[in-house]
Amino acid sequence: MTKKRMVLIVVSILILLSLFFTYWFYFSKPTAFPTNKQLATRINTLFPKANAETIQDTIELDSEHAFVPFISGEDNYGTSYWVWEKHKWKPSYIDTVGEPVVWKTDKDDPASFHIVWNIHPDDQISRANFYLIRDRGYHISSGEHTYVPQIQMEKNVRFEGKSYGTIQLPDDWCSFMTQSNKLALAQNPNRYNSSLIQDLSVYIGWMPLNDSNETTFPENSVNGSGFSNGDNHINFMRILDKSELEK
């Protein structure tokens, strides 16, 4: 065997091995999810302030994303957001509180968006109204006057005695967000970042309610501390007042 042929064989083997390990590292299917003990250890190692003591549940949003609510040693109700990445499960974000947020597991596909939460029981919130809103507006372009009406979509959720939960965005919300994004792209064709949501007048908010259907501020579920461990695509919501809503 000539030296040149030997070199070609070695190079071919190295290329095949490189392709194999690249696939194994980046594209292999997820392994079994960590145990509760492993989850708590991993959370506390990365973010000691979380002090996760009790893992409440593991909610799989898809094969590569899981929502894990927990209770800390100080009786805080926290949240962690787990992703399968580079051949391992890791928390992409950890929060010491559990106010509702929108988790975009695929930032370009509204159908993948979930609202997740872990509300402290002391806040005595029994249900929440979530809203997708586009503010009304008015603009002039090339001498043309355009009025943009307000859009308001509502989703009511009862917590059913559980502090935590998840919901996927309703189909009509997803359709509206997709169309809004297409319109924004058409109006800004040279914009570099095409991810949702581009229209800053479109947002998701919520209204916390108690058993008497009265708005209640979730004092124990907001203003916590968070730890980011890579890209997480989590959008925080603001609490809405009734005066901001269309009747």
pLDDT, tens digit (0-9, with 9 covering 90-100), for 186-204 = 766 665 555 544 667 889 9
Structure tokens that stand for 9 in this block = 């064989």
Q: Is 17 among the domain residues?
A: no
**Predicted pLDDT at 16:** 54
Residue 153 domain flag: yes
The whole-model pTM stands at 0.83
Q: What is the largest CA-CA distance in the chain?
A: 86
pLDDT at 118: 99
pLDDT given at position 23: 47
Asked whether residue 6 is assigned to any structural domain, the reply reads no
- Average pLDDT over every residue of 105-114: 94
User: Are the C-beta atoms of residues 112 and 121 closer than 8 Å to each other?
Assistant: no
Compute φ and ψ for 129, nearest 5 degrees: -105, 120
| Range of the structural domain that residue 86 is part of | 27-244
The residue ranking higher by pLDDT, 104 or 28, is 104
- Name which residue leads in pLDDT, 28 or 71: 71
In a domain, 92, yes or no: yes
Q: What is the reported pLDDT for 187?
A: 67
| Residue 84 near residue 30 (C-beta atoms within 8 A) | yes
For residue 7, is it within any domain? no
- Residue 3 belongs to a domain: no
Asked if 218 and 208 count as a contact pair (C-beta separation under 8 A), the reply is: yes
> Where does the pLDDT of residue 27 fall: very low under 50, low under 70, confident under 90, or very high at 90 and above?
low
Tell whether the model's pLDDT for residue 57 goes beyond 90: yes
Question: Over 70: is that where the pLDDT of 125 sits?
Answer: yes
The stretch 149-157 carries a mean pLDDT of 95
Q: In this predicted model, which residue has the larger pLDDT, 18 or 219?
A: 219
Query: Does residue 109 belong to any structural domain of this protein?
Result: yes
pLDDT band at 21 (very low <50, low <70, confident <90, very high): very low
The count of structural domains within the chain is 1
| pLDDT value at residue 24 | 44
Percent of the chain with pLDDT strictly greater than 90? 65
pLDDT of 138: 74
The reply to whether 10 falls in a domain is no
How confident is the model at residue 39, as a pLDDT?
A: 98
Q: How confident is the model at residue 137 (pLDDT cuts 50, 70, 90)?
A: confident
